Structure 1
Amino acid sequence: MSTLPRSLLKNLDLFRSVSEHDLDTVLQIAQTMRLQAGEPVFQQGQVAENFYILLHGHLKVVQTTPEGEQITVRYVMPGEVFGIARAMRRPTYPAACIAVEESIVLSWPSSEWDHVIARNPQFAFNALQTVGQRLQDAHTRIKELSTEEVEQRVARCILRLVDASGEQTEEGVSINFPITRQEIAEMTGTTLHTVSRLLSSWKEQGLVNTGRKRVTVRRLDDLIRLAEGQPPGGTAASKRNSVEPL
C-alpha cells in the first residue's frame, strides 16, 4: 500500500466524497513520484501508461511543434488531475509535462481509469470539469491571439496565473512558482523581447516587480485595466497604497 496518509487525499476536492474503504483501494494502486526542477513526468509522444494528480509543487505542460519550436501550453497546479490522455482515447501524451520546482506527483496506471471513476463519481465530475476548462482555455487563447493586442494578452496571462496561484506578499500578489519571460512569451504568442519590454515598462510605472523567474503584481486594478484594453488609472494616492488584495 502507498505510504501516503489517507488524509492527504481526503483533503483534495477530487476525493473529498470518497469513503475510507474506497480511498484505501485507490491508494493501494498508486505510486508516488518526487521530481526536481526540470525533471519530466512524461514526454510528448510517450505511451500514456499513467494518469496523475499533483500533490505539491508546480508543473508546466510543453508542446514541441513539427518545426521544433517549444511552446509552454499551461501550468499544472496542486490538486489537479493531468495526463488523462487515455481517458480522452489518446494512446500517447500530446505534450510533455515538466516540473518547474520540486514537486510530488501521485500516479495510477491508465488501465485503472474506468475503475477509479466508477468508484468515485466526484473524481469523474472533477475530471470532466478539468477537460472542459482546458477546452475553454484553449478557445480563449485562440480568441485573444486573433483579437487582442500583445499588451492585453500578456496582462491577461499574468492575471490568470495570479488567480490560480497568487500569494500575498508585502510587495503585492506574487505568482508563487518560478516562471520565465520566455514562458510568458510562449503562452501569449509573442517574443521574449516584447515581454521583456512590457515588463520593464510596467516595472517603471510601478505596476509589477520582476526578478529572476518571479513576477509580483503591485497594482492589480491597473493590470486588469490593461487586460481590458484600457490605460492604467492609478492616482497618486492609490500608488502610495499600491498593494492590492488577492
Structure 2
Amino acid sequence: MITEPYIHRVVHQHHLFSNLAENELSRLMSNAALINLKAHENLFFQGEPAKRFYLLLHGNLQLYRTNPQGQDKVIDVVREGHTFAEALMFNKQSMYPVSAQTVSECQLISFDCEKYLNMLKQNTEACLAVMANMSMRLRKNINEVEVLSLQNAQSRLLLFLMHHMKPTAENQGQVYLDIPKRVLASRLSIQPETFSRLIKKMTNNELIEESGHDIIIKDVRKLYASVNVPFDPLVSADSNNKQSIPIINM
C-alpha cells in the first residue's frame, strides 16, 4: 500500500490514471507496491505470469527477449515517467513476452492488472484515454518496424542521433546517452562490434566527437550526407523527443 501524497500526485498526472476519481485512485494505490531495484536487477522474466504492470518513477530499464540460442535482444528502453506491461492485460496475455532488467538504479510502482481493469469498466473517460495511448503506440510500432526492416545499421544509428539531438548551434547538436552503448546497439538491432565501428568511423571523419556520455554532432548536414539520407530539418530540430519507440505492446 502506497500512502505518500507526492507519489499519488505523480501517478494521477499520468494519462493512464488522470481520469480516475480520487476514491478510485486511492483504491488502486491500496493494492500498489513501491519497488526499489539496484542496477542490473531483474524485475520479471520472460514467461512469468503477467499479473501486474508498472510505472517507472526513476532510472532506466530495458525490456529484452532471449532466443532459443540464449542470446538477448533489447526490445525497448523504458525511461522515467513511462508505464510498461499494461497492454498485456487488454489482450489477456497471461505471460510476460519479455524480461525486464534495470539499466540503472530504479524506483517503480507495481499495479494490480485485475483491479485496474475493473475500474476502467466503470469509468468511460479513463478507458478512452487508454485507447488513445494504445493508438499512439501502434503508430510508433509501425514506424519502428519500417526503420528496422528498411534501413541499414548506419542509417538506424543516424536516425537515433537525429531524433535525440539537442541543437546547440546552427547545423550542430548534442546527444546525451543515458544508457550503455551495448544496450543502445541491441535496441537498434546493431551488433556491438558494428556499433563501435560506426562510432569510430564517424569520429575519424570528424562528423561527431565523444565527450563522456555526450555525442557532439559537428555538422548535421554532413552527417546526413555521409549515409545518403535526405536532410530533414524537422527531424533534426526535434530536441524534445527523448522517448524510445517500443516495437511490441508492453
Instruction: Give the TM-score of the pair, scaled to structure 1.
Output: 0.76
Q: Distance in 1 between matches of 2:104 and 2:34?
A: 16
Letter in 2 for 1:229: N
Residues 193-235 of structure 1: per-residue CA shift (max 9 Å, x gap): 21111112223445444466x34343584488369833889xx
What displacement does 1:168 show?
A: 8.1
Q: Displacement, 1:184?
A: 2.8
Q: Kindly tell me: are residues 158 and 20 of structure 1, through their superposed partners in 2, closer, same or farther at Cα, counting changes over 3 Å? A: same
1:75 maps to 77
Q: Distance in 2 between matches of 1:47 and 1:12?
A: 25
Structure 1: unaligned runs, 5 residues or longer: 234-243
Distance 2:208 2:4 in 1: 39
User: Which residue is 2:60 aligned to?
Assistant: 58
- Residue 64 of structure 2 aligns to a residue whose secondary structure is strand
Q: 2:99 and 2:132 mapped to 1: Cα distance? A: 21
For 1:190 and 1:225, locate their aligned partners in 2 and report how far apart those are by CA, in whole Å. 19
1:61 deviates by 0.6
C-alpha RMSD of the superposition: 3.4
How many aligned residue pairs are there?
231
Tell me which residue corresponds to 1:16. 18
Q: Distance in 2 between matches of 1:44 and 1:223?
A: 42
Q: How does 1:70-109 map to 2 (within 5 A)?
A: 70-84=72-86, 85-109=88-112
> What is the rounded CA distance, in whole Å, between the counterparts of 1:119 and 1:204 in structure 2?
60
Structure 2 counterpart SS, 1:88: coil
Q: Residues 188, 245 of structure 1: CA spacing in aligned structure 2 closer, same or farther, 3 A cutoff?
A: closer
> Bigger shift: 44-53 or 10-19?
10-19
Distance 1:45 1:24, change over 3 A: same
Superposition TM-score, scaled by structure 2 size:
0.75
Shift of 1:104: 1.2
Question: After the TM superposition, which of the residue ranges 31-40 and 5-14 deviates more from structure 2?
Answer: 5-14
Tell me which residue corresponds to 1:175.
176
Q: Which residue of 1 aligns with 2:3?
A: 3
- In structure 1, distance between residues paired with 2:121 and 2:110: 17
The answer on whether the counterparts of 1:173 and 1:217 sit within 8 Å (CA) in structure 2 is yes
Higher relative contact order (CA 8 A, sep 6+): 2
Q: What corresponds to 2:41 in structure 1?
A: 39
Task: State, as a whole percentage, how many aligned pairs show the same letter.
Answer: 21
Distance in 1 (CA, whole Å) between partners of 2:173 and 2:159 is 17
- The residue type equivalent to 2:70 in the other structure is G
Distance 1:206 1:45, change over 3 A: same
Distance 1:174 1:66, change over 3 A: same
1:132 CA displacement: 4.0
Aligned pairs (5 A) from 1:1-246: 1-5=1-5, 6-84=8-86, 85-118=88-121, 121=124, 123-160=126-163, 162=164, 172-175=173-176, 177-180=178-181, 182-210=182-210, 214-219=213-218, 221-222=220-221, 225=224, 229-230=228-229, 246=239
